[in-house]
Structure 1
Amino acid sequence: MKKKLIVTDILTICIIILLSLITIIGISSFSTDKSYFIINQYEDNVKIFGNGIYAHDSYFKAPIFIGSDFTMLFLVVPMMIISLIGEIKKRTIKSKLVLTTVMGTVLYYSTSIVFGVTYNYLHLAYIALFSSSFFTFIILVKSINSDDLRKMQKWILPSNGLSIFLILSGISLFVAWLPDIISSLINGKSLSLIEVYTTEITYVLDIGIISPLIFICLFYLKKNEGIGDILLAIILKLCQIIGIMLPIQTFFQTIAGIKIPIPALITKLGIFVLLATFAAYFNTKFYKNIDLV
């Protein structure tokens, strides 16, 4: 029987095309021989990347953006394609949930670039990716019957191990980013790496949205409500992908000649990679215990 495409399928296809275009252009911008210096709005001397789509971004941030682009193109795009095919073929709660979790990661990425990257000629593409992933994500979440998902889950949630993991994950986002903010406030200066930007979008997303979402997820899991299962699947997927993305970002910074202090590697890289490892374990267990019968 011929499978009919629905609205979320069409939107997902558009998102895959947009995401591929944006990330390919981003990766092709990598070059370290066109940098230059400017004085920013805080009267600090800032090194600018000077090449490609990230020509007006800082030399420190551009390799991070390119590392994100690399991860999204070679990891997330294939995941989206596979999960979309699975959803079209099966139309089960599980297949829909898998697609939703990947879409959540795309939404996180698109939010980061549309608000975090210096204005460039891809701005409309950034807006299109952000808008389409935002509404597709909402539609997908709404389409999942959370009560049925709760009944299908054989794993009694939350286990002690999972509870500890979620609590530590929520706290770690503050541990990673809050010291930078507190230090700047105490010294009466801007963030040390604010450079040409007006805010740090990662701090906003992680401290303002992801960390509270983790504790909200734990709350609903303890209340035995299915929305907790949906949030858990989204959080675990995002945590895994971020755990892969951070080392790739660090790699691009390293080959660009940027030296990362050891304490920063421990607090901002090591912690997230460790959490991603546990997230992968819990994610596998979560899906293995979904009874489709």
Structure 2
Amino acid sequence: MKNFRIISVLSVITAIFAAVAAAAGIFYTSGGESYFYESIRGQQIEIYGRGLYQHMSSEVAVQGIAHDYVILFIAVPVLLISTFYLKKPGLKKILFHAGLVKFFFITYLFYMNMGMYNGLFIVYVILTSTSFFALALTLLNINPDTLKAGFEPGLPRKFIGGFLIFLSSAIALLWLQIIVAPLIDGSIIPASVEHYTSLTVQGLDLSILLPLSFVGGYLFIKDRKWGYFISAVTLVFLCFLMSALVAKIIAMALIGVNVIPVVFIMPPALILAVVCSIIFFKKIKPEAQKSTFYSSSSIHTGA
């Protein structure tokens, strides 16, 4: 595997800093109590008032803490295990690692850009950087030209591709509902902007992540090589992302926030993401663990 040592170092650094950031979000609780703050737009916002996310709204802060639980107790241990098993590379391991590292990259890209500034900003910068380069170097070990040949016949492309298309479309419609409704009624600014500058999550989702998932699903149904490439990484990514989103829904429900309609979308999406991932990876041929099924230049064991 090409650049194995570099990928391993970047992945371990990501795991360490992510554990620190997540633990701080969960266990650092100093500060006061929640209070109401009037935004520049005249909206009354309940501010969390304590811990790492003390300057964020209560609704968003509890989501961040829920996400941190998933990172600390699920994603970080799995990342360390995945990094260890990369010593003996195979197609399954490389695809899984790429999807997992993508989860860390997207997570801390959002933390770096949407959260209120706190003492861990530089940690978010480091995590965004290390996870991005770990992802890029891992993806360079995958050869799209031979990837499709690494799968056994009978892979349910319509089911898996249809799931990716449906989920990306459903979330896109959910976000567009938030954005378009104020444009129609003349208020312009969605209430969910609160005291923040913009809708960062919705913007990045609608511009990059959701179209990528949609196109990947479509190309996978059409049996195109890039469909296999995009879908494999996206499915693993979704397993972890949907776990975090379900945790966020639970956290919001516990403080009395209305979780409809997302409560009917995210939990089933998590189950389907796991099912599709299992089906997808079970169809990888045993011989696909050989270097000819990933990057043709990736036959080295070190950097």
Give the AA of the match of 2:100.
V
**Corresponding residue for 2:301?**
none
Is residue 43 of structure 2 the alignment partner of residue 49 of structure 1? no
Gaps of 5+ in 2: 288-303
Give the alignment of 1:82-97 within 5 angstroms: 82-88=81-87, 90-97=88-95
Residue 105 of structure 1 pairs with residue 100 of structure 2 = no
Q: Which residue in the other structure is 2:17 paired with? A: 18
Alignment of 1:1-293 (within 5 A): 6-29=5-28, 34-88=33-87, 90-156=88-154, 159-189=157-187, 190-222=189-221, 224-255=223-254, 258-261=255-258, 264-265=259-260, 267-293=261-287
> Does the residue aligned with 1:154 lie in a helix, a strand or coil?
coil
Deviation, structure 1 residue 27? 0.8
Task: Classify 1:155/1:104 alpha carbon distance in 2 versus 1 (closer, same or farther; 3 Å).
Answer: farther
C-alpha contact 1:32 1:49 (8 A) present in aligned 2: no
Q: Quote how far apart the aligned CAs of 1:42 are.
A: 0.6
Aligned length: 284
1-structure distance, mates of 2:153, 2:257: 41
Distance, in Å, in 1 between the alignment partners of 2:286 and 2:31 is: 51
The question of whether the paired residues in 1 share the 8 Å contact of 2:11 and 2:134 is answered with: yes
Q: Which amino acid aligns with 2:20?
A: L
- Contact 2:155–2:280, Cα closer than 8 Å, also in 1: no
Indicate the SS of the match to 1:220.
helix
Q: Which moved more, 1:67-76 or 1:178-187?
A: 178-187
Residue type at the aligned position of 1:121? G
Point out the more displaced range, 206-215 or 112-121: 206-215
TM-score w.r.t. the length of structure 2 is: 0.87
Which of structure 1's runs of 4+ aligned residues deviate more than 6 A?
none
Provide TM-score, normalisation by structure 1. Answer: 0.90
Distance 1:164-1:5 versus aligned 2 partners, 3 A rule: closer
Q: Which amino acid aligns with 1:253?
A: M
Q: Distance in 2 between matches of 1:32 and 1:268?
A: 31
Residues 184 and 31 of structure 1, relative CA distance in 2, 3 Å threshold: farther
User: RCO (CA 8 Å, sep 6+): is it higher in 1 or 2?
Assistant: 2
Mapped to 1, the partners of 2:235 and 2:59 lie a distance apart of 28
